Each structure stands twice: as structure tokens, then as C-alpha cells.
């Protein structure tokens, strides 16, 4: 961690899948948040956290979360920058 200047991601969407809906017709996922929020994981350590604004989750049990990441950027101190774009964490 001593060599990392920042480790930032931009999240654009969060989806949930209700427990037991994995075999349903169509998409079993519901969108609970859309927007664009940037977070730097270096700042979110030692008990610090951030929340996505205006997220509303309907009552129920969920077995899968999808987080859509528009961009991820890792900056190394006195070095290079590595960019990653357009992927989904499941």
C-alpha cells in the first residue's frame, strides 16, 4: 500500500437478484441504483465508508449482487497509471 497513490473506481449501476429467481424467464435482476459515483479505496480504509445516494432495496432475500464499474484506475506513486474500463463485478 505504500506505493499506491490512489485506487479509484466509478460505479454506474447496482442490480440484485431475488433468491430463487435464477431460473426465471427474462432477466431475474432488479436495478436498485443507477448513476455515476467515484470512490477511492485508499480513502476508504480503517473503518471509513461511503454510501451510494438514494438507494432503495425492496424487502426480500437476495442471493446475488452485480456492481457495474465504468472505470477503475490504479495510480502507483512515482510510477505509472493503469486504467480498466467497462466491466461488471458479480
Contact 69, 9 (CB under 8 A): yes
For residue 85, pLDDT beyond 80: no
pLDDT of residue 24: 60
30-51 pLDDT, tens digit per residue, is 999 999 999 998 888 888 988 8
Strand order from edge to edge, sheet including 62-76: 29-40, 4-18, 62-76, 81-89
Contact 68, 14 (CB under 8 A): yes
45-73 pLDDT, tens digit per residue, is 888 988 877 888 889 899 999 999 999 88
C-alpha torsion angle, residues 65, 62, 43, 55 (rounded to 10): 100
Amino acid at each position: 500500500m505504500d506505493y499506491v497513490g490512489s485506487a479509484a473506481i466509478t460505479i454506474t449501476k447496482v442490480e440484485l437478484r431475488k433468491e430463487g429467481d435464477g431460473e426465471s424467464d427474462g432477466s431475474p435482476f432488479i436495478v436498485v441504483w443507477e448513476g455515476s459515483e467515484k470512490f477511492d479505496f485508499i480513502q476508504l480504509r480503517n473503518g471509513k465508508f461511503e454510501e451510494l445516494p438514494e438507494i432503495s432495496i425492496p424487502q426480500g432475500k437476495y442471493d446475488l449482487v452485480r456492481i457495474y464499474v465504468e472505470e477503475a484506475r490504479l495510480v502507483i506513486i512515482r510510477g505509472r497509471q493503469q486504467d480498466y474500463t467497462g466491466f461488471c463485478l458479480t
